[in-house]
């Protein structure tokens, strides 16, 4: 296939490009600077500008655009940046894919689509959108794929959990704390922390690209959900470090603002029902296996 990727330089995008090329696919990367390589094409989503050559003969578009959810303390300005970095690029790519007749669009989203107030209730792709800023962001993000859907493009919306990787994401922030002996649960620890290994995240996207019967939302989350306390105990075991501490909710709120309640102190017990029903096999089906594979590479 020829696969056009927006967000190819990020944590997931870099691994996805490598995986697709290993499998013999052609990758075209959208960049927001002057194109400097044969596989690069310039685009400017804020101006709705996209080099039309990028989509010629394309079999699929993958949209991974978005500023880091936990990258900064949330305030009004950063929350708007989170929206602008997702919704506008998605609308531009959806419209362009529809106009160019691209058969497939795989678009990023997040499991916090379901909100943070689901408690112990298991949620799957049939569960409606929740409430709160993060759930609303995910809902509007997915809604921006409408131009492609209405044009008959097969759209897969990948609702990703926390991606476990050695060189980025949440583990890169937690790892140093554990080596200092400062690891432990966040808040009560009873909230769920949805997770997926980077290998399985990339595998799920490739699976979505290569399985034409798959459409609609899919939860890219490990099949064995764990609470935050269980997650941190497993991380301590994987690192062979103690995890005795408790980071109280007020400290997290002071550090990251509203994101503490939206994305850390609450989380959905999400399961990958659609992926499993379609026949996807996880390389790392448990948190222990995912962390052992990830931490073992450091």
Q: What percent of the chain has pLDDT over 90?
A: 80
Q: What's the per-residue H, E or C state across 223-266? A: CCCCEHHHHHHHHHHHHCCCCCEEECHHHHHHHHCCHHHHHHCC
pLDDT confidence of residue 16? 98
CATH node for 2-295 = 3.40.50.720
Q: What percent of the chain has pLDDT over 70?
A: 99
**Residue pLDDT, tens place only, 141-190:** 999 999 999 999 999 999 999 999 988 888 888 888 888 888 899 999 99
pLDDT confidence of residue 78? 92
pLDDT of residue 297 exceeding 70, the answer is: no
pLDDT of residue 296 exceeding 70, the answer is: no
Distances (CA, A) of 152 to 54, 59, 100, 106: 20, 14, 12, 14
This prediction's pTM: 0.95
| 3-11 mean pLDDT | 96
Quote the mean pLDDT of the chain.
94
pLDDT of residue 298 exceeding 70, the answer is: no
Pairwise pLDDT comparison (288 vs 244), residue with the higher score: 288
Domain ranges for the chain, please list them: 2-295
């Amino acid at each position: 296939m020829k696969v056009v990727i927006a967000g190819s330089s990020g944590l997931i995008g870099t691994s996805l490009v490598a995986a697709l090329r290993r499998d013999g696919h052609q990758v075209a990367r959208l960049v927001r600077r002057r194109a400097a390589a044969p596989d690069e094409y310039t685009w400017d989503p804020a101006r709705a500008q996209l080099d039309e050559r990028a989509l010629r003969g394309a079999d699929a578009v993958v949209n991974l655009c978005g500023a880091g959810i936990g990258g900064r303390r949330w305030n009004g300005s950063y929350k708007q940046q989170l929206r602008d970095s997702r919704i506008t690029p998605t609308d531009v790519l959806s419209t362009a894919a529809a106009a160019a007749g691209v058969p497939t669009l795989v678009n990023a989203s997040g499991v916090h689509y379901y909100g943070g107030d689901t408690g112990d209730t298991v949620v799957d792709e049939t569960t409606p959108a929740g409430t709160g800023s993060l759930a609303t962001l995910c809902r509007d993000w997915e809604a921006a794929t409408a131009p492609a859907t209405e044009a008959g493009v097969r759209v897969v919306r990948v609702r990703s959990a926390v991606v476990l990787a050695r060189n980025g994401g949440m583990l890169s922030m937690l790892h140093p704390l554990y080596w200092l002996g400062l690891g432990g649960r966040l808040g009560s620890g009873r909230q769920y922390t949805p997770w997926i290994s980077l290998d399985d995240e990339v595998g799920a996207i490739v699976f979505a690209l290569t399985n034409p019967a798959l459409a609609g939302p899919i939860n890219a989350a490990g099949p064995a959900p764990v609470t935050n306390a269980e997650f941190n105990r497993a991380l301590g075991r994987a690192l062979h470090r103690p995890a005795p501490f408790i980071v109280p909710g007020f400290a997290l709120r002071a550090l990251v603002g509203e994101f503490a309640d939206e994305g850390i102190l609450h989380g959905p017990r999400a399961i990958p029902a659609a992926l499993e029903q379609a026949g996807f096999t996880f390389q790392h089906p448990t948190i222990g296996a995912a962390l052992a594979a990830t931490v073992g590479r450091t």
